[in-house]
Structure 1
């Protein structure tokens, strides 16, 4: 298991370049060096066909393929369904959170923007998920 955040390969799935910039900056600040970006669920699927990230930060509302469609595609793939996902969204709808947490690999549901406290919480959950599922 990769204990150090520096070694983790992180995928951001977000259609807003400003949100990606902020999230990537926050992750870089805590030591994450391998942060990749895709602009929607479909481009994230293409990324997964060639790469295997350790952690995915996923927006819900995106064009082409939204976050829930992406999660459903991951659920259908045995390997992708083991990649921990953090929903990072502007949605505050309780039904979105309920739906997201029905996926076994969703380890968190956070409202944008990411901050130090949220990052620490996610990496504790990430470690627990990896310990229990790997």
Structure 2
């Protein structure tokens, strides 16, 4: 992975994501957005390898982002992963209905989550 966009309104969660990504691979460029609207604006100028998206955010939440992203962009990031504190099966099912959403993780981001994303990108073999 060359670049990952993290979309989360919580500065602590952003810090944890950035820290975990840099520990996983210091060469990955980390892009940040505090809500779905900021993320859409950023994505109009770049396509990262992956988007890590929270659900509950002000201005535009994760599900609203997914709807706009689906309608506006013909090309999607190879991996879109939900990273949320929601334990609701309905949220997981709703997120995974989008064909470009490849994973659903519960916070915090872990190196194993990043390994799964790397496997999805075909960058690393999955270790079982």
Shared fold, TM over 0.5: yes
**How many pairs were matched up?**
122
Q: Deviations over 1:12-37 (max 9, x none)?
A: 00000000000111001111431011
Q: SS of 2:13's equivalent?
A: helix
Following superposition, the deviation at residue 49 of structure 1 comes to 1.3
Distance 2:111 2:5 in 1: 18
Could you say what secondary structure the match of 2:44 adopts?
helix
Consecutive unaligned residues of structure 1, counting only runs of 5 or more, are: 129-134
1:131 — aligned with what? Answer: none
Partner in structure 1 of residue 47 of structure 2: 52
8 Å contact from structure 2 (residues 47, 76) kept in 1: no
User: Which residue does 2:79 correspond to in 1?
Assistant: 84
Per-residue CA deviation, residues 76-97 of structure 1 (Å, 9 max, x unaligned), is 1343445420000000100000
Kindly indicate whether residue 104 of structure 2 is the aligned counterpart of residue 109 of structure 1.
yes
- 1:118 matched residue in structure 2: 113
| 1:93 and 2:88 correspond | yes
How far, CA to CA, are the matches of 2:43 and 2:20 in structure 1?
Answer: 23
Any unmatched runs of 5+ in structure 2?
Answer: 124-128
CA contact (8 A) 2:55 2:61 kept: yes
Written as runs of structure 1 = structure 2, the 5 A alignment for 1:6-21 is 8-21=2-15
When the two chains are superposed, the root-mean-square deviation of aligned CA atoms in Å is 1.5
Q: 1:24 to 1:84 in 2, by over 3 A?
A: same
- Between Structure 1 and Structure 2, the one with more helix by share is 1
Assess if the C-alpha contact under 8 Å between 2:54 and 2:83 holds in 1: yes
Residues 15-68 of structure 1: per-residue CA shift (max 9 Å, x gap): 000000001110011114310110000000110111221110000000000000
Runs of 4+ in 1 over 4 A off after TM superposition: none
